[in-house]
Amino acid sequence: MSQPRRTMGELLQLAIEQPPGQREGWLRRTCGDPAVLPEALDLLRQYEADPAFLEHGLPESEPLIGQYRIVREAGRGGMGVVYEAIQHSGALDRRVALKVIRPVWAGAQILERFQREQQLLARLEHPGIARLYECGSAPDGSHFFAMEFVDGCPIDEWCDREALSTAQRVRLVLQVCDAVSYAHRQLIVHRDLKPSNVLVDSTGRARLLDFGVAKL
């Protein structure tokens, strides 16, 4: 049985994993599509000249994705970047967290995981879980979804900064347990519980984020 053809992003990711002196040869042997090879080689050479180029966010000349105006980069992980953005829709100006998958990485498996995260978030409505607002794609091939922006800090940093007592820390953890228990009742397992995925907002409420590797 023939192997499914890899996307540009998948080819490039696998090529980067090869030893530096063998990447181009590996790519030439593996690509299998003469129409794709020149662009793949060009991307590889750009990466080798500047490894950070694949991690760059939106260029400053393109501060918009659809109706969302980018304010700043708020975080990144895996193949995605999360931006703080403002949604402009009629009379609505809403602050959101905008998670974006760059086109170069938009392989079938990555998009499947990204879409699964959207579907799981759409099932969740709990005060301890950031809410999903909207999903979409941009003309440049980027895929995104917008969700509630949680302005806070990781739970461990919050506890230390506020010098919380043991009892206060336990109460915060119980808030997290309540959110996790709710997700479990929806048959969703988060699978990546850690301090950086639990932010405490200005009201002292613990909020669970990042269902990127969650499963039913």
Give every residue of the chain whose pLDDT is below 70, as ranges.
Answer: 1-10, 35-36, 39, 50-62, 77-79, 104-109
> Known catalytic residue: 192?
yes
CA dist 216 and 81 (Å) reads: 24
Q: What is the pLDDT of residue 2?
A: 44
Catalytic residue, candidates 33, 192, 201, 210 = 192
